[in-house]
Chain A
Amino acid sequence: MADKILKKLNIKVWRQKNASSKGKFETYTIENISTGSSFLEMMDILNNELIEKGIDPIAFDHDCREGICGTCSLYINGRPHGPDTEVTTCQLHMRKFNEGETITVEPWRAAAFPVIKDLIVDRTAFEKILQAGGFVSVNTGGVPDANTIPVAYEDAEESMDAAACIGCGACVAACKNSSAMLFVSAKVSHLAKLPQGQVEAKKRARNMVAKMDELGFGGCTNTGACEVECPKSISITNIARLNREYLVSRLSR
């Protein structure tokens, strides 16, 4: 419970100046880190030390630090978001590491997520997939009273389970094929489970899958690594639902 101090850690981290330059690993040491600190707080402290030494700080993505915005990434010791389960990197705490350990930190590795700098990758491919149909076509105003669209409790819960995806990309990073199936299936299931999303369900699945393929994500071979590494425990049963929607949409064309 009480915080301890890790006296010394080695941080082996990927450094890459920009998208077009070649990257390499550098190792830094850091001292006196509280086990109550988050991984990103450790990175802040490391960065402040680097700045004082005249070394460029390590660029990494983060914002909310509450495990909900999906901005933070980091491949830590060979796992997306590090060794803890069901958490993002900002919610990973240093109590998960040992005294004297060498921690390896890399950016997400996937062709569809090119590195921008150091540990920051470009995830706009996710945006493009969503723009291909991840919405209900409704304008502002002129909609019916909310309670005229009843939704069974279980359906709302299942929809919410899928809607909890934070778009972090850990599933892609975890997958040996760099497939985006878990992410896409989460959005498709979120909307397909609700009456409002039904009308466009088939078209949505078809368009989003086509976009995903076009953007260079790999195919899904059901290895399940995505589910294991997903910080929001998005279930691969969503992939089955996506496959069903997709199949139906192909058949009914």
Chain B
Amino acid sequence: MSILNSKIPEGPLAEKWSKHKANIKVVSPANKRKLEVIVVGTGLGGASAAASLAELGYNVKAFCYQDSPRRAHSIAAQGGINAAKNYQNDNDSVFRLFYDTIKGGDYRAREANVYRLAEVSPNIIDQCVAQGVPFGREYGGLLANRSFGGVLVSRTFYARGQTGQQLLLGAYQALNRQISKGNVEMYSRHEMLDVVKIDGKARGIIARDLVSGEIKRYGAHAVVVATGGYGNVFFLSTNAMGSNGSAAWQCYKKGAFMANPCFVQIHPTCIPVHGDQQSKLTLMSESLRNDGRVWVPKKKEDAVKLQKGEIGPNDIPDEDRDFYLERRYPSYGNLVPRDVASRAAKERCDAGFGVNAEGKAVFLDFKYAIDRLGKDVIAARYGNLFQMYEKITDVDPYKNPMMIYPAIHYSMGGTWVDYNLMTSVPGLYSIGEANFSDHGANRLGASALMQGLADGYFVLPYTIGDYLADEIMIPKIDTDAPEFEEAEKEVTGRLEKLYNIKGSKSVDYFHKKLGQVMWDYVGMARNAEGLKKAIEMIKEIREDFWKDVKVPGDLDNLNPELEKAGRVADFLDIGELMARDALDRNESCGGHFREESATEEGEAKRNDEKFTYVSCWEYKGESEEPTLHKEDLVFENVKLTQRSYK
């Protein structure tokens, strides 16, 4: 099908990227000066892309909704970033990283993209070190590594528990350098509300200045969306409060396909939900599973006593503890991938062995590691994470085990892109968490940072040239064009509509309701009946929302409630599409456990015969059902096997 041309280059896997680079077009320096590129989002993907494009000579406009690019959600990543450096001589290689990623993603990602990701990964570390990212070091001065959930080699680079922060500061520094040189115009506290197409090509965006409320038009020869994931559709998640799927959703409405929207990641090590006043779930880095042992009581009566607060974890002797990950998966133990660890925790809790008042938590215990290595070693490894845990829960993890539970964390699905990272709209690109590529049905730890930076530093700057080389004759985009005027009108109309509902319920009320439906029916375990129900329930919430939401404040002033209202309106639509996609995919894979498709032992059962495809949804209009297109996934270099971590 021509509308879904993935543009995967011919030839052997290991040569695809270099051959492709040799074949795609390059823009001359003189012509780059005449070309403008808009980058929406300044997380790892966007900041690295904006800086790299500006260094190449393009005129870049960058946007983010925060007051500074440094605050993008990427900053929260704790654990680390993967790269196939084999510095530890433990037999790591580009192929092994590629293989682990493909397998970890349950064979639902494109071979060529994943291989390229592994191939450029070593360059990322070189680049970041050159920028002054203070990665952890060995005493000899060389870079340190650790191992991370789901892999058996040590390939993860880290900067204490603040890897995302340090990588983002690196990219932000590069961006700042270009801002100071005048090569990037930075628009902070600006939110993209629409993408503008002229003659079928992306030519700009409409954005709202979040301080003045002004709606403005920006033109460019190409638009790059790097706006992160849509996990906040669940209301409670590990994502930053402002993280949203709106920009990607506007792209979808303008013809960019949404791929695998039902693929969201559930992270196993989050601080459990308590009470009903919570706004956000806090992640505890997966690196904790390197030394922490996960357990629940063996005896149900112990679990009940824990739930009632009658005994503490230290009252339960070793022989009465069920280290269920070690029991079920002896070769990986506590290091199984995220989807496996999450599901196993839910299984124990559903069976009544949960350890907090709600019965929705398991222990992550450092007692054994402290006995073995001493408190100092553990403090040096995880000190800031322990401190964070104590601040939030008022429990000292050196003395008592942590309590953890799975939470929504990352969206593997997103805007469909071809090998060049271009969406199905010419000139519209999508990078980082906003696109669907590279992680398949499940993302291995420390791979999102890698993908964001790979896209921004080393892939997009080349592939966008291939498109822009044909645009050099196009003069500066005229934002007075009727297409801009129309898009602006649409945006203003929508904001006014929201504002004028003047109903009785706050935006959060609807967001929480949606989140509950998503978690109950489109969360860790799903079945056809529940998904159909969810679609209907979401429709009802949407109807109610557009009748009864109350947006206070002014349109022409800073107005956080108005910002949230727009995002929640889109989440309602995204949630419905997720449920639709999940309904179509009647197989279990990755973090997506379909109850109708399980092995006798209760493990996820994939169905390669029917579902080895990327689902690509095409927007057909406000009240129309979207059309499903399928991009078949072809595996030439790996054999599809059932994942086993036993």
Report the count of interface residues on B (CB-CB < 8 A): 83
Cβ–Cβ < 8 Å partners of B100 in chain A: none
Known contacts A52-B506, A71-B66, A131-B179: A140-B52 contact under CB 8 Å? yes
Q: Which residues of B contact A141 (CB under 8 A)?
A: 123, 127, 457-458
Residue among B67, B128, B504, B553 with the highest chain A CB neighbour number at 10 A = B67
With an 8 Å Cβ cutoff, the count of chain A residues facing the other chain is 84
Q: Is B446 interfacial (CB 8 A cutoff)?
A: no
Q: Which among B55, B506, B552 is the interface contact of A139 at CB below 8 angstroms? A: B55
> What CA separation (Å) do A38 and B275 show in the bound complex?
12
Tell me whether A160 is interfacial, beta carbon within 8 Å: yes
- Residues of chain B in range 219-261 having any CB-CB distance to chain A below 8 Å: 240-242
Query: A63-B66, A65-B280, A70-B71 are known contacts. Are A149 and B129 too (CB-CB below 8 A)?
Result: yes
Q: Is there a chain B Cβ closer than 8 Å to A18's Cβ?
A: yes
Residues of A within 8 A of B552 (CB): 51, 54-57
Contact of B68 among A3, A34, A150, A167 (CB under 8 A): A167
Residues of A contacting B125 with CB < 8 Å?
146
Query: Is B139 in contact with A153, judged by CB distance below 8 angstroms?
Result: yes
Least CB distance, B568 to chain A, in whole angstroms: 14
**Contact between B173 and A159, CB atoms less than 8 A apart:** no
CB atoms of A140 and B76 under 8 A apart = no
Q: Flag the segment in B159-167, B314-322, B416-424, B482-490 that touches A.
A: B159-167
Given the known interface contacts A51-B550, A140-B52, the answer about A3 and B173 at a Cβ–Cβ threshold of 8 Å is no
Shortest CB distance B467–A (Å): 19
- B560 in the interface (beta carbon within 8 A): yes
Report the bound CA distance from A84 to B390 in whole Å: 13
At the interface, yes or no: A216 with Cβ under 8 Å from chain B? Answer: no
A34 touches which of B72, B160, B240, B275 (Cβ 8 Å)? B275
Question: What is the bound-complex CA distance between A117 and B179, given in angstroms?
Answer: 26
Of B160, B172, B186, B561, which is within 8 A of A57 by CB?
B561
Determine, out of B10-18, B331-339, B391-399, the stretch whose residues face the partner at the interface.
B391-399
Of B70, B282, B506, B559, the contact of A70 (CB 8 Å cutoff) = B70
The A interface, classified by DSSP as helix, strand, loop or mixed, is loop
CA distance A95 to B494 in the complex (A): 42
**Complex CA distance for A193 and B76, rounded to whole angstroms:** 24
Q: A69-B70, A147-B143 are in contact. List 10 more A-B contacts (CB 8 A).
A: A34-B277, A45-B277, A51-B552, A55-B552, A57-B560, A64-B75, A91-B392, A136-B173, A141-B123, A160-B160
Q: 8 shortest A-B CB distances, which residue pairs?
A: A150-B141, A135-B173, A143-B130, A146-B129, A131-B180, A159-B134, A156-B137, A140-B52
Which B positions have Cβ atoms within 8 angstroms of A? 48, 51-52, 55, 66-68, 70-73, 75-76, 85, 87, 123, 125-132, 134-143, 159-160, 162, 165-166, 169, 172-174, 176-177, 179-180, 186, 188, 211, 240-242, 274-275, 277-280, 282-283, 309, 387-388, 391-392, 394-395, 457-458, 461, 504, 506, 508-509, 550, 552-553, 557-561
Q: Interface residues, chain A, CB within 8 Å of chain B?
A: 1-3, 17-18, 33-34, 36-38, 40-42, 44-45, 47-48, 51-52, 54-57, 59, 61-71, 84, 86-87, 91, 93, 95, 116-117, 120, 122-124, 126-127, 130-132, 134-141, 143-147, 149-153, 156-157, 159-160, 163-164, 166-167, 190-191, 193-194, 196-197
